[in-house]
Amino acid sequence: MTQSSDPVRIVITGMGWTTPLGDEIDAVWERLLRADSGVGPIDRFDAGAYSTNFAAQTPDPDLEAILDDSAPHAHAGVNTRFALAAAARAWRQSGLDKRNGVNRRRIGVYLGSGEGPPDFDAFAGANLAGWDDEKRAVDMGRWVKAAYELMTAQRELEQEPNMPLSHIARAFGAGGPSYNCLTACAASTQAIGEASEIIRLGEADVMIAGGAHTMIHPLGVTGFIRLTALSSRRDDPQGACRPFSSSRDGFVMGEGAGMLIIESLAHAKARGATPLAEIVGFGSSADAFRITDIQPDGEGAQATMRAALSQAGIDPLSTDDTGRPPVHYISAHGTGTQENDSIETRGIRAVFQDNAPKIPVSSIKSMTGHLIAAAGVVEAITCVQAIRTGFVPPTRNLTQPDPQCDLDYVPNEARDLNSAGGVRVAISNSFGFGGQNNTLVMKRFED
């Protein structure tokens, strides 16, 4: 992305999330500032024999209490239920529930998501006695009737990655541009950035943008264990995710969803909406390196940050009259893996140079776990909350600093920046498995 001469300004008018720490914006924000942890033992399946048997689980939302009409979503998969709950809260905050004459063909949806849990339990407990129409082997060699497969087809369909998008479009009458991206941990950041560009191009007035994901199921957990990406601190689940710490040994799986309502400033003003913050920059890059490893010098991370800052018209090396850098908070990707944290640090240092140590950087994954495709939007909402309140959340469990990670990571206690002028500009980094990188720049709304 390069700096645009397009006068269209993009504002956030609604936010919603459903996370391991709760689902109300202010309540979750208070828990983040207290450095509360949402990590605990996995109870969704028997993980007792796994080397990692803990995660940050999110309660299944009560859609009947959230949606005006939940009946069409009665069979929705867990990814979709998370997405609907977050979207409903964002929609309500934006004031779009009153619609105010908004053309539904000008309301679009752009999500980052992944597949929901495979239906491992579809055959568990099934009474196979007397079934003679055996068609194929499934589930560790069990033979089941073709008719039974048809009975479970809808459950399987509801785990497809495009299902949250379809349900959201139906629930909120969003008949405009409709997209879904699958760029792993960078997906929901990409969704927000590209949704902003769709509005700038004049193809929509409003976009519902964000992501939803869960991988807390046997296949998901097993896969990341095999990759040695998960922390194995079974004796201390809440202390397991340790971004930027010398003792870090991997990330903790999380799940949930986050949604933003974004629209052009002109459209928001015309319907009397209140902007919460402005999106001023989006950058995207690929490492073009190995599929399973990050480029060691962080060139991809640098490229996406530089592109986002360029579109925002921000010189990362500049300072104000007090010597303060132009960016006041960085929500790091900060997974707690050895490679990610040191390489992200290297990338931030390369982009901001002498300014880098002056910028508070933190990772809320130390409290929420890694929400995979939903991580970016939840961290973008964190940036908006930092802008609105002047506080930045801490990095929990950072008691043993790593010499290779030598920035200001706001260890263990939230920080009040209001005496320094608050948080006017914040950036959110998301780096996806496979080498996809995306960065958003958000700033305090000033009319």
Residues catalogued as catalytic:
185, 333, 370
> Which residues, at least 6 apart from 85, have a Cβ–Cβ distance to it below 8 Å?
16, 18, 23, 61, 63, 66, 257
Residue with tokens 């082997």: 137
User: CA-CA distance, 366 to 350, in Å (whole number)?
Assistant: 24
Closest Cα partner for 332 from 260, 368, 389, 380? 380
User: CA-CA distance, 27 to 44, in Å (whole number)?
Assistant: 25
The burial of 27, by beta-carbon neighbours within 10 Å (0-12 exposed, 13-18 middle, 19 or more buried), is given as: exposed
The two tokens of residue 123 are 């055959």
User: CA-CA distance, 18 to 258, in Å (whole number)?
Assistant: 6
- Return the bridge partners of 137, or none: 143
User: CA-CA distance, 318 to 267, in Å (whole number)?
Assistant: 33
The burial of 212, by beta-carbon neighbours within 10 Å (0-12 exposed, 13-18 middle, 19 or more buried), is given as: buried
Cβ neighbours, 10 Å, residue 154:
10
The two tokens of residue 249 are 């040994």
Q: Both ends of the chain: CA-CA distance in Å?
A: 24
The two tokens of residue 341 are 């944290």
Strand 10-18 vs strand 277-286: parallel, antiparallel, or unpaired?
antiparallel
User: CA-CA distance, 368 to 365, in Å (whole number)?
Assistant: 5
